[in-house]
A = this chain, B = another copy of it.
């Protein structure tokens, strides 16, 4: 088979996978197509945890014609019994001749085993077609499976002079409506939105996804070492709210839990919630992607700990001037050699603002 067609059909499967983005948590987003003689016989998208996998939907659509066809799937088919039966069984019984996958499943229960079973059953297997593109879709799932940490993306709105709020806290509005609308997609695909109690008490935000049912909202996780949250904060009236705290000096925990807030006790480090422990805990909740929307203190601590994987910076063509707040209070460098380097992934205009997506290079 011509390599170009392989890429085209996998691109089609990736396009399908994108339809499930943000809806399959904690599962990865997966797409699949069944192709015979250059014709698309079946398409499938995994749309919700517990529902059919993409391969199953594509094979069902193809029906008996799947015999002798090629299956393109963005992630290695499963060989284990989870919420649904193993996909490899159906692939074998459907008479598929060839399976092309973008990436192996990082889940140690599956990694390579699915493909082994297929090969043992005489099915030709091709790996690694558009692998990077497919992994990018499920960067949080891969991070959790390989590092026991969510993929941590920090979104920051800044002026051209690197300021995120005035000294008095005023930051409404740095960026354009177009930029603020774009933030919705990052919230929607995240399992959790992390902020600090300072941001809650200062700005009283909701940090929710518009037009999404309360139960489907990502968890709003608030780092609040001493449970100093203002009990009148409007976010406490929402569902899916989690407070990560170390101490409860004013005995607020019981009251907060009675209001439906989920409390997670995390050991402190340097008198603050230990952020590495917090992130590990969020991974145990099957949180794939965490979006950080906070001020320079929490962002600086996460950056210093090497916990930020990606920055999404909306940069407005304005100057906010001297003594306004920066993006990060930490780390502090003594030499340019120690600077943190970034890899540009995407640059795009939203209204008058620039959106810069950058990967943080880990040292």
Contact = CB atoms under 8 A, between A and B. Distances in A.
A322 B328 contact: yes
Contacts of A167: 332
A303 B174 CA distance: 19
Nearest to A165: B336
Nearest to A156: B161
Interface string A305-326: 0000001010001111111101
A341 B317 contact: yes
A126 interface: no
A322 B326 contact: yes
Given A335-B170, A336-B166, A336-B173, A160 B323 contact: no
A340 interface: yes
Contacts of A162: 158-163, 326-327
B358 A341 contact: no
Interface in A245-304: 296, 300, 303
A285 B18 CA distance: 62
A136 interface: no
Interface stretch (A36-44, A198-206, A208-216, A342-350): A342-350
A304 to B, nearest CB: 8
A183 B163 CA distance: 25
B317 A161 contact: no
A333 interface: yes
* Best-buried of A303, A321, A324 by chain B (most CB within 10 Å): A321
Contact of A331 (B322, B327, B335, B347): B322
Interface of A: 158-163, 166-168, 170-174, 296, 300, 303, 311, 313, 317-324, 326-336, 339-344, 347, 352, 354, 356, 358, 360
Given A160-B162, A321-B333, A323-B329, 4 more contacts: A160-B342, A168-B334, A303-B319, A347-B354
